[in-house]
A = this chain, B = another copy of it.
Amino acid sequence: MRPGEIDEIRKLPLFAAMLPENFDALFRGAYVQNFPPQIELIREGDPADFLHVVLEGSVELFATWNNRETTMATVAPIATFILAATIKNGPYLMSARTLEKARVILLPSADVRKTFTTDPGFAQAIILDLAQCYRSVVKSHKDLKLRTSVERLANYLLRKDHQAGEQGHFDLKIEKRRLASYLGMTAENLSRAIRTLNGYGVEIEGSQVRITDRKDLAAFAKPTPLIDDPKC
């Protein structure tokens, strides 16, 4: 592991409250690995042998059934993924692949499970992390069941604009076909949805998004914190 990296990880909410000896022991058993783009890190159905921490690059979580595939989430540094499977000692429910070159830490699941039963600070942090994850999937589920595809796109753009400081312009940072899959539509329909939003103050050129009339867009999108606020 590189100097400084371990300190960054230590600052993650999930690990910050661990006892020093437990943190050290847990990460002594860790593997750090560098992966090229488009590598499958995890296949759904496999036993959850490792908890993953993305240090650099980005990772896509996706799911498949009957030859269909859908993007469930993208994970950006520094963050963990597949915590629930590790804890339940169950199979992965989602697959994961690198989108760019990525640097990932693998923590043996057995060590994680052993640690959280004896370290109350770690247990607290896991509780908060899982509650957060649960609520964010519930929000996605509401998004999908209650909104049309154009409405989902409109709200997605407002969320990203907000995260980028409401500057009115930002970079998508994801291929459109993956965004389409994430939003539960086809790439073709994403193109058409963008055109529809041209009429509500949205301009997209390549990966550059410009929101020229946030009021108009928000009037159309009707965002609510109960779906669209990631911190709530």
- Seen from chain A, the residues whose Cβ lies within 8 Å of a Cβ on chain B are 44-45, 63-66, 68, 70, 72, 83-85, 87-88, 90-91, 93-94, 116-117, 120, 123-124, 126-128, 130-135, 137-142, 144-147, 184, 222, 224-227, 232
Contacts and interface: CB of A to CB of B under 8 A. Distances in A.
Given A84-B134, A134-B134, A117 B128 contact: no
B90 A232 contact: yes
B127 A85 contact: no
B85 A135 contact: yes
Q: How many copies does the complex hold?
A: 2
A68 B148 CA distance: 11
Given A65-B222, A70-B145, A146-B65, A90 B135 contact: yes
Contacts of A222: 65-66
B87 A127 contact: yes
Nearest to A222: B66
A142 B126 CA distance: 24
Nearest to A231: B90
Contacts of A63: 142, 145-146, 226
A60 B123 CA distance: 30
A210 to B, nearest CB: 26
A22 to B, nearest CB: 14
B127 A70 contact: no
A38 B135 CA distance: 25
17 contacts: A63-B226, A65-B146, A65-B226, A66-B147, A70-B145, A84-B138, A87-B128, A88-B135, A93-B138, A93-B139, A93-B226, A120-B120, A120-B123, A123-B123, A126-B127, A127-B127, A133-B134
